[in-house]
């Protein structure tokens, strides 16, 4: 009887090591490179009340070996260090493995945010640069939420000079 118990204990240990190896291999497969998200376009939509609406086009590039399935997206855009626009969409889709997709997200800009940016624009125009930050997430799918962010500087066109 003790010999049978010993064999069961050894078998359990081997199974536990095998299961641990599978778990570690599975976790290693879940690591992914961050997606690259950039603004591909901005088109006006019909606003309502004191807000402006735009269709923000985001180019999402997936550098991973697995497609990204999503069933919702949220995005926030800051200009010059202050919140400017935000939006959500329940649109679903797939960003192919080692591929890209352009996703449309309706965003809203409140009158207050637009006025604040207009007030701060002369300072940004003096520099010739307007810093922006984009952040958001693609929700859903088997692997859960994929968060993204992008930041940079928009170069302002030079103001025309007076005289010759």
Look up the domain containing 112 and give its range: 35-155
Do the domain assignments include residue 2?
no
Q: What is the number of domains present in the chain?
A: 1
Return the sign of the alpha-carbon dihedral for residues 60, 63, 64, 67.
positive
Mapped onto helix, strand or coil, the DSSP state of residue 152 is strand
The answer as to whether 122 is a domain residue is yes
The pTM of the full predicted model, rounded to 2 decimals, is 0.70
Phi and psi angles of residue 63, each rounded to the nearest 5 degrees, phi first = -90, 15
Return all residues near 69 (Cβ < 8 A) that are at least 6 apart: 92, 93, 94, 140, 141, 142
Predicted confidence (pLDDT) per residue in 123-164, tens digit: 666 677 788 899 999 998 666 789 999 998 877 665 555 344
């Amino acid at each position: 009887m003790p010999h049978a118990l010993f064999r069961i204990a050894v078998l359990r240990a081997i199974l536990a090591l095998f299961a641990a190896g599978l778990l570690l291999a599975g976790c290693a497969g879940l690591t992914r490179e961050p997606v690259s998200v950039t603004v591909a376009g901005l088109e006006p939509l019909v606003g309502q009340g004191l807000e402006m609406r735009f269709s923000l086009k985001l180019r999402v590039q997936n550098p991973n070996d697995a497609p990204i399935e999503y069933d919702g997206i949220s995005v926030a855009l800051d200009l010059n260090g202050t919140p400017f626009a935000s939006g959500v969409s329940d649109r679903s889709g797939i960003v192919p493995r080692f591929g890209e997709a352009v996703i449309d997200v309706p965003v809203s800009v409140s009158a207050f945010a637009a006025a604040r940016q207009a007030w701060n624009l002369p300072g940004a125009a003096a520099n010739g640069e307007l810093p922006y930050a984009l952040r958001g997430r693609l929700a859903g799918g088997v692997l859960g939420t994929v968060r993204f962010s992008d930041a940079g500087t928009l170069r302002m066109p030079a103001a025309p000079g007076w005289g010759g």
